[in-house]
Amino acid sequence: MVDLKELRDEIDSIDRQIVELFEKRMDICQKVAEYKIRTGKKVFDRTREQAKIDTVKGLTRSEFNRHGIEELFQQIMAMSRKLQYQLLEENGVAGRLPFIAVDEIERSKVRVVFQGVEGACSQAAMKQYFNEDITSFHVEQWRDAMEAIAEGSADFAVLPIENSTAGSVYDMYDLLVEFENYIVGEQIIRCEHKLLGLPGAQLSDIQRVYSHPQGLSQCKPFLEEHRGWKQIPLENTAVAAKRVAEEGDKSQAAIASAFAGEQFGLQVLADKIYLNEANSTRFIIITNQRIFRKDADKISICFEQPHTSGSLYNMLSHIIYNNLNMTKIESRPIEKRNWEYRFFIDFEGNLNDSAVKNALRGIREEAKSMKILGNY
């Protein structure tokens, strides 16, 4: 009977040989990178790599080993590419990104568009991010705001991208791909719902409550204490507040923010009626300029990768190998390509950082397409 220790010793010996050969291979890869630096040749050669994988698969003796060798060499070649990208960056041939660093994003004497009516949370986010000496206007749809930026009738737009309870605003991701507009900032607004009514109204007067469906849902425990009230959903909380103010009926109330109440002259009938005290909405600040603050520390990108096994891992591995911290990932269906997806990721970093440039170069070369959505 074979001794287990002897088997493990044999494996250890083989592993040492693998490490030695791996380091020898990476030394040669460095020479390949030096050649590509001199000649301007691209790092990633998909045809060459696939031919190499097909060759080494043919050297195995079983189907299980063929699959294992394919996966192993995919990783080895991915690591080789990352070494070459790093050397290109160190030698100053990584290329410039088409973004300009600025000291500050303009917050005074600019034109800003937000979606919704007066009193909307997007207006509250705008007032928190920008100074008072701006010109602002509102539009009905998110697309209208993106078009206003693209055509130059506004310098910036303030639009929702994510709610901590309800999740991402998926249509916004699609619009970021469609338009050549870019994220330059963000503003987080706490969703502190209040019950708003006409001046002089009492809780005992209320028969109908208006709000966005999520506003009604997030205040469910409070509303269950008043089961006689009719709950009426509207397109957003600010519209609910506006309706109560315009109709002048003391039996009606709105679940909305204190900011909306101030805009429409309503009083707070009940405070802290929301279920989740941490509930917040993140708004992005968008412009048509490719700019970023010099101290920006978050980057958003999107990419499409080959529809093959392991391709998403290969894309994300550029974030890992450059020691960058990914903070968010989303996916959206690609139009007219069933069951294929575009991925959106956020990670920490600045476009001037060498590690960021290295990661973006690797993703750009290996993805079908990549777009930098902003650094903020």
Give every strand in the sheet of 267-270, ordered side by side: 230-233, 208-211, 252-256, 194-197, 267-270
Strand partners, 328: 346
Q: Is 247 in a helix, a strand, or coil?
A: helix
Interatomic CA distance for residues 180 and 178, integer angstroms: 7
The answer to whether the CB of 236 falls within 8 A of the CB of 116 is yes
Contact 115, 142 (CB under 8 A): yes
- Dihedral sign from CA coordinates of 365, 366, 367, 372: negative
Taking alpha carbons only, the member of 311, 359, 350 closest to residue 331 is 311
Bridge partners of 301?
345, 372
* CA 157 – CA 138 distance, rounded (Å): 10
Catalytic residue (choose from 156, 283, 303, 347): 283
Q: Among residues 259, 281, 292, 303, which one is catalytic?
A: 281
Q: Where would I find the beta strands (DSSP E) of the chain?
A: 100-102, 111-115, 135-139, 156-163, 167-168, 182-190, 194-197, 208-211, 230-233, 252-256, 267-270, 280-287, 291-293, 298-304, 326-333, 341-348, 369-375
Enter the DSSP assignment of 75. Answer: H
Can you name the residues that pair with 374 across neighbouring β-strands?
Answer: 183, 300
Q: With CA atoms as reference, report the closest residue to 193 among 174, 210, 169.
A: 210
Closest CA to 174 of 368, 372, 360, 342: 342
* Contact of 121 with 169, CB cutoff 8 Å: no
Distance CA 334, CA 338 (A): 7
Look up 281 and say whether it is catalytic: yes
Q: Which residues are catalytic?
A: 281, 283
